[in-house]
Structure 1
Amino acid sequence: MIRRRLLPAVLLAGLALAALAAQAGVMTRATLQRHFPPPWTVGEKDAQLPVWPIFKQDMTSPVLAGYVFESIDLAPIPGFSGTPINLLVALDPKGAFLDVRVLSHHEPVFLEGLGEGPLFRFAEQYKGLSLRQNIKIGSNANRGEQHGSANVYIDGVAKATASVRILHQSLLASALRVARARLGFAAGSDPALLARVRRDGFRPMDWDALMKAGLVQRVRLSRGQVERAFAGTGVEEAGGAGEPFDETFIELYLAYLNAPAVGRNLLSEAGWQHLLGRIDEGDHALLAIATGRYTFVGDSFVRGAVPDRLTLRQGDLPLELRDLDLDDPLRLPAALRRADAKVFRVIGPAGLDPARPLDFALRVTREKGMLYGERVSRDFALPYRLPADQVIAPESDAKGWLAVWRTRAWELAVLAGALALLAVVLARPRWIVATPGRLARFRTGYLVFTLVFIGWFAQGQLSIVHVTAAIQALAAGRSLGFLLYDPMSVALWAFVALTLVVWGRGTFCGWLCPFGALQELAAQIARRAGLRKHLRPHRDLDARLKRLKYAVLAVVLVLAAVSPAWTDRAVEVEPFKTAITLNFVRAWPFVAWAGGLVLLNLVLYKGFCRYLCPLGAGLKLLGHARLLKWIPRRAECGTPCQTCRHRCEYQAIKPDGAIVYGECFQCLDCVAIHDSPQRCAPLIARGRQRVIPVHAAAAVRSAA
């Protein structure tokens, strides 16, 4: 019997793990062969890296033509909606893009506004370009010098800058990883093992000390060096008497700014914290300062863009530099306070290794000819290397999901502490329910934690999307190894699976669902503002309404099995993405739906959770594995006492006093009533029935 009751929980755990793998690729060898018909041939999937080799017939033998892969397997960078864009990418052995297609995305601007056509056309521009080029997204403001630029520009999409930039970063990050691992672009090193910058290397240092320690490095180009590089091109400049060839053309200072030994010495404490807040874990902030007659940004450069003249490579691969647009003042010597200074970011997925040399290059471009002007460009190397004592060598287990768990270690520690506290309270609720005020304060505080930390900060909102994606993942036969790359969801699903066996659905729905917490907190605020009590449907109508969520669940699951496109529309019945993931920053129909459900909750308490939530329906079905009837009952419960039933906002108590655990949200209100001599009717009645002995006064006894 116990095994039968445990089976749904086991199935839930497996389904949850598969759901977490849903952000993995969807392609199989057979589907790829349709994308690459003869004369192409798709080989077997690589055992170590999620890529497929593709071959082309050359006379009598097949020749390796490149590798095809999905970006979501290698660089799942969250999009504007919180879900990664998935690209199908084909890369030839020299690092050129054979094909780039959008397989799936959830970008609101392309789903609800511009349509998908502009996004597909944007992706097509990468065909024929190479990873060895500095590919940048152009704009009307930044393309004035493109003919003399060190970059290759492609057209962006107006009103969708953020989304196309995320696609660009996803494409380059995933392709760079394949190029390093399979095309020899990493010079034999393992691209998954990167050094880390030391966080304990700070000591107060002035500018001269930073220069002496090699933390700030100087590169000088004289006018004579530049003229020699242009010798014979017809654009040389003749030096006059007042312009000696040994004068400074440019003097460039380079530094790795987010190394504490550099950043904390060059920025104020407030500026240092501001910098850390502007970059994500694993990103790199690089400082460039220039003096002289030439600089590293052109006249048309705008803040937040990529520089035209300054590029960065590591090994054979370019890395994108983007201006961080920081205004925090730097602690520089007087001679440099009017110099051009910019802080550039390199995103973590680009794979920059701080222990290896950074090969900056400065492009100088000149023109000759009046009618049909010809541009002549030369690149000048600007090497920089962070001192060895500022980096920590990678460990052999720093690959893959372990690194992700490490970076979110403190979030997981906070979550683990909160889940342990909740488990203790639910297992031993007597102290919390001893007084109504204590229970109310604890519950309100925990719901605020759930909404703010689990939901808005850590993005830990579990959703029916996990279930639908799991169905599609299992149908495609994908590996489940990717599940460990989302540690917050793994931890929450594991806890939910465990508590389903112990207590049922209510632990998640009543305590750990951020949208549920938002509804309950909104209802508390409304009550304090004097709004009337909630409507309470008749129990027969309530029972019929509660069946609706099973119909919603069935529709969503059927669509997940037959139509991924319609599944994306159907799962919007959940307001979680709008209210929690996107903080209501979305198209008005979605905001209206989510906001309307919050307002409905003020009239019909948690109406969405009780009557429409497909995830709640699934958890109730799986909650039949519950082993405990943990809410205490008395013989008088239901016959004749109806106190708990009338006080239950969720209408999860039958007239006979039995608890409907599948609809119980585990709020502990009935437990508090059951243990209270002032609120539990049977306990009050027993108190009144006590016989109080009457004793004669001492004077009366004496007289007797």
Structure 2
Amino acid sequence: MLRLLLCLALLGAAAAVPAGVLTRAELASRFPAPLSVGERERDVPAWPVFKQNGTRTELVGYAFESIDLAPIPGFAGVPVNLLVLIDSKGDFLDVSVLSHHEPVFLDGLGEAPLRAFAAQYKGLSPRQRITIDSKLKRTRAPDAAHAYLDGVSKATASVRIINQSVLSAALKVSRKKLGFAEGRDPDRIARILTAEFTKMGAAQLLAAGMITHVRLTRGQVEQLFRGSAGGGLDADALARPGELFIDLYLAWVSVPTIGRNLLDAASWDKLRGRLDEGDHAMLAMSSGSHSVIGEDFVRGSVSDRLTLRQDSLPVEMRDLDLALTLADNSRLPTENVSVFRIIGQAGLDPAGALDFALPITRSKGIVYPERITREVAIPYRLPASLYLLPRGRDSGWRGIWRERLPELLVLAAALALLAIALWRQQALTADARRFAWLRRAYLLFTLGFIGYFAQGQLSIVTITGVVQALSAGRGLAFLLYDPIGVVLWIFVGASLLLWGRGTFCGWLCPFGALQEFIGKVAGWLGVPQLRLRTRTDARLKSLKYVVLAGVLGGAAVAPALADRLVEVEPFKTAITLAFVRSWPHVLYALGLLGAGMFVYKFFCRYLCPFGAALAVMGRLRRLAWIARRAECGTPCQTCRHRCDYQAIEPGGAVDYAECLQCMDCVVIHASDERCAPRMLEIKRARTIPIVRVENLERGGA
């Protein structure tokens, strides 16, 4: 089996990484006249879409496939592929589903909810904080900074992955083609407090760090070029080193506390009228022989004399060509006053440090002059009182972990309780009646809370998803979108090393708990319980390994086939969708539960590929935790005949790969009334006192 799994992994490693499937001709059929599709861009996998407007051809936006830009694996390990169309401002014109392998939407909920979810992006923007929350959508109106989407019940993690795919892909295209900033998640950007204002003078603004200042003389500039080809080229610097080169003040003028104090009322209103929601403006005020605006500068363009970076990434500042008047009490230079706009799409984070730079360039030579540039760094940091940090919601996996924190705490407490109980199994099984009720209560919790409420049914789908993701060279971050599953997997992984397969299959599997309840009820109702012959039972148990090999093989070489093969598990039908599914799937699940009424936990024992996978991994188990006596199997067969799973061999050894940890044999082993060797030990330990006959006669007298 281990050799087989290794071969499957090698086959998977040869699989090709999926990529976009649409050609230019296919895109043209999706965007008919008056639209037209241009050649695919070289720097990013996106097609420009144009529109004929009279004699002019206008850029409508860009179309692209999400799988080319953000191949985030879904729960089958294969990314959802979406066709996204954004306009020239980065706003979504359309999002549609091209292909997917999400189990919950394949013959489950159906594709209609998925397509309806994707359609909600139309009119939204990747610079908005998009929250998937139906309640918020009903109670809060969207604005330029926030938008709300209806989620899909029972598919919370899947739609989170889809949302991340849409946003990540759109941001990559927007950064390359539309000037959006690199590397910043709009969900994690602070917001300016536009309603906050404090009356302050220019000196107070400087002291508070709301205005930054740099002053350079010609001599200081000459020092920057000393030892280079640019040294000594400025005769004025050599003749008058103390002369002022530039006295520069920079301020984040779109922040009300700064702008309203620096500008007069008319200028403040004029500035606000030129900025869109989310835009920022920087004010440069200077005096001296040098200015951030050169003599040949074209108004409305980007200055090469003042640059801005944040997180080592360039941020474009474009001149607003706006005449502004400083307030009378500003006491700041008014010779050269310019205001630069930073669009909201640039992703400038008010909470982050700004790295302004003043490039100073000198030229040497006449025909082909050599340009030598030195930069003067001008750091700037907005005080924390002027912005609001993000509330913690984000479109990625962190958001869903925060939202599900109460469920995670309940699950963690339950798992801790189970671990303590299993570790102290002697105390747990000391009273058979009490143990039986405790086990029923825990299985009811597993079925109700872990299964139906928290949707925490672990499945072979996770393993096939990992196989497909690794075979395609993708990461496993998609697992983080299911926090309940992650916590369960961590616990199950640890339990495999201690107790083997049985901890999950016997205590934490919701479908297993459902089967166990049905089997117990069938026994109480007098339904005949079939116990197969040992040889027949062993042969049937090997079937689940064949099923496992088929499912993993399909996952490695044919994802579409794997989508069908995983349906051998009835978990999605019975637990995830609570039997709300097409009749063939419901009939199949009910058939397996019906078989479990006659053969105890039929599916778990003979067909479950996930149980087979855990049994293989359970070979790493370190403990032989089920106590045995020398008499077990020779001659005592009590536990073997009482084991409903037939996991005890005639010789008395426990087959841990088939043990589902019901612990009935542990209860018997500890019982003075049910364990034959124990009963014999007690009987032998009894002593009858020998009393002399004469003592008896005296006592009788």
TM-score higher than 0.5 here?
A: yes
Q: 1:618 aligns with which of 613, 618, 627?
A: 613
- 1:648/1:670 contact within 8 Å kept: yes
Distance in structure 2 (CA, Å) of the matches to 1:163 and 1:623: 30
Structure showing greater radius of gyration is 2
In the alignment, is residue 31 of structure 1 matched against residue 15 of structure 2? no
Greater Cα shift, 661-670 or 412-421: 412-421
Alpha-carbon shift at residue 557 of structure 1 (Å)? 1.4
Q: CA deviation at 1:103?
A: 1.3
Residues 509-537 of structure 1 show CA distances to partners (whole Å, capped at 9, x for unaligned) of 11111100001112222333x22352100
Match in the other structure for 2:531: 536
Per-residue CA deviation, residues 447-505 of structure 1 (Å, 9 max, x unaligned), is: 00111111111111111111112221112111223332221111111111111111111
1:510 aligns to 2:514 (yes or no):
no
1:402 corresponds to: 398
Instruction: Give the equivalent residue in structure 1 for 2:40.
Output: 40
Q: Which residue of 2 aligns with 1:437?
A: 433
Mean CA deviation greater in 395-404 or 655-664: 395-404
The equivalent of 2:472 in structure 1 is 476
Report if aligned partners of 1:181, 1:190 keep a CA contact under 8 Å in 2. no
Q: Kindly provide the amino acid, as one letter, of the partner of residue 634 in structure 1.
A: R
SS in 1 for 2:46: strand
User: What letter matches 2:644 in structure 1?
Assistant: E
What does residue 457 of structure 2 align with? 461
Aligned twin of 2:354: none
> Is residue 501 of structure 1 aligned with residue 497 of structure 2?
yes
- Stretch of structure 1 that moved more, 538-547 or 690-699: 690-699
Deviation at 1:642, TM superposition (A): 0.3
Cα gap change, 1:100/1:702 in structure 2, threshold over 3 Å: closer, same or farther?
closer
Equivalent pair of 1:119/1:164 in contact (CA under 8 Å): no
Residue 489 of structure 1 corresponds to which residue in structure 2?
Answer: 485
Does structure 2 retain, via aligned residues, the 8 Å contact 1:506–1:665? yes
Structure 2 counterpart of 1:91, from 75, 86, 89: 86
Secondary structure (helix, strand or coil) at the match of 2:657 reads helix
- What do you get for the CA RMSD once the two structures are aligned? 5.2
Indicate the residue corresponding to 2:209 in structure 1.
Answer: none
Q: Which residue of 2 aligns with 1:559?
A: 554
C-alpha distance in structure 2 between counterparts of 1:397 and 1:169, whole Å: 12
Equivalent of 1:54 in 46, 49, 71: 46
* Contact in 1 for aligned 2:649/2:655 (Cα 8 Å): yes
Give, in angstroms, the shift of residue 173 of structure 1: 7.9
Deviations 1:179-202, CA, capped at 9 Å, x for gaps: 578648999885222789xxxxxx
Give the match for residue 581 of structure 1: 576
Alignment of 1:677-696 (within 5 A): 677-689=672-684, 690-695=686-691
Aligned twin of 1:526: 522
Per-residue deviation, 1:405? 1.9
* AA of the residue aligned to 1:69: S
Q: Does 1:393 align with 2:403?
A: no
SS of the residue corresponding to residue 418 of structure 1 reads: helix
Distance 1:654 1:675, change over 3 A: same
Aligned-pair CA distance for 1:91: 3.4
SS at match of 2:687: coil
Aligned amino acid, residue 54 of structure 1: A
Question: For the structure 1 residues 71 and 679, does the alpha-carbon distance in structure 2 shift closer, same or farther, using more than 3 Å as the test?
Answer: farther
Match of 1:640 in 2: 635
The answer (yes or no) to whether the contact 1:650–1:665 under 8 Å persists in 2 is yes
Task: From the superposition, tell whether residues 678 and 481 of structure 1 become closer, same or farther in structure 2 (CA, over 3 Å).
Answer: same
Cα distance, 1:130 vs. partner?
Answer: 5.7
Structure 2 CA distance for partners of 1:183 and 1:599, relative to 1, 3 Å:
same
Question: Aligned partners of 1:534 and 1:666: how far apart in 2?
Answer: 20
Amino acid at match of 2:675: C
Instruction: Return the offset for 1:573.
Output: 0.8
User: So what's the TM-score if we normalise by structure 2?
Assistant: 0.55
Which AA in structure 2 matches 1:584? F
Aligned to 2:142: none
Separation in structure 1 between the aligned mates of residue 583 and residue 476 of structure 2, nearest angstrom? 36
CA deviations on 1:108-154 (whole Å, 9 max, x unpaired) are 8985999x8x9999999999x76579xxxxxxxxxxxxxxxxxxxxx
Q: Is the 8 A contact 2:516 2:601 kept in 1?
A: yes
Distance in 2 separating the partners of 1:165 and 1:627: 37
Change (3 A) 1:85 1:621: same
Match status 1:672 vs 2:667: yes
Separation (CA, whole Å) in 2 of partners of 1:100 and 1:703:
103
Q: Distance in 2 between matches of 1:523 and 1:558?
A: 33
For 2:656 and 2:49, how far apart are their aligned partners in 1? 64
Residues 164 and 395 in structure 2, CA contact (< 8 A), matched pair in contact too: no
* Counterpart-to-counterpart distance in 2, 1:432 and 1:501: 21
CA distance in 1, matches of 2:700, 2:573: 84
**Unmatched 5+ stretches in structure 1:** 1-6, 20-25, 44-51, 134-160, 197-312, 317-354, 356-387
Q: Which amino acid aligns with 2:457?
A: Q
* Counterpart Cα distance in 1 of 2:618 and 2:446: 22
Match for residue 605 of structure 1 among 600, 603, 613:
600
Q: Distance in 1 between matches of 2:649 and 2:562?
A: 36
Q: Summarize the Cα distance change of 1:630–1:512 in structure 2 as closer, same or farther, 3 Å threshold.
A: same
Is the Cα contact below 8 Å between 1:597 and 1:608 reproduced in 2? Answer: yes
Local SS of the residue matching 2:99? strand
Amino acid at match of 1:574: E
**Distance change >3 Å, CA 571–CA 109, structure 1 → 2:** closer
Distance 1:416 1:131, change over 3 A: closer
Instruction: Supply the AA of the counterpart residue of 2:40.
Output: W
Residue identity matched to 1:537: L
Partner amino acid for 2:667?
A: A
Which amino acid counterpart does residue 510 of structure 2 have in structure 1? P
Contact 1:72 1:85 in 2 (8 A): no
The CA distance in 2 between the partners of 1:606 and 1:694, in whole Å, is 54
SS at match of 1:559: helix
| Amino acid of the structure 1 residue aligned with 2:645 | Y
Give yes or no for contact 1:110–1:119 (8 Å, CA) kept in 2: no
- After superposition, what is the alpha-carbon deviation per residue over 1:56-108, rounded to whole angstroms, capped at 9, x for unaligned? 799xxxx9956642599699999xx9x99652435354335587442115588
Q: 1:629 corresponds to which residue?
A: 624
Q: 1:633 to 1:625 in 2, by over 3 A?
A: same
Read off the aligned partner of 1:450 and give its amino acid letter. T
| Partner secondary structure for residue 31 of structure 1 | coil
Matched-pair contact (CA < 8 Å) for 1:505–1:619: yes
The 8 Å contact of residues 578 and 590 in structure 1, kept in 2 or not, is answered as yes
Equivalent residue of 1:477, what SS? coil
Q: 1:162 to 1:703 in 2, by over 3 A?
A: closer
Letter in 1 for 2:571: F
Query: How far apart are the structure 2 equivalents of 1:120 and 1:407?
Result: 22
Q: Deviations over 1:216-261 (max 9, x none)?
A: xxxxxxxxxxxxxxxxxxxxxxxxxxxxxxxxxxxxxxxxxxxxxx
**Cα distance change of structure 1 residues 539 and 55 upon mapping to structure 2, 3 Å threshold:** same
| 2:464 counterpart SS class | helix
In the alignment, is the contact (CA less than 8 A) between 2:422 and 2:428 conserved in 1?
Answer: no
Distance 2:428 2:157 in 1: 47
Shift of 1:549: 0.6
Cα 1:92–1:169 shift into 2, 3 Å? farther
Residue 645 of structure 2 corresponds to 650
Partner residue, 1:271: none
Which secondary structure does the structure 2 equivalent of 1:430 belong to?
Answer: helix
1:593: which partner in 2?
588
Deviation at 1:655, TM superposition (A): 0.5
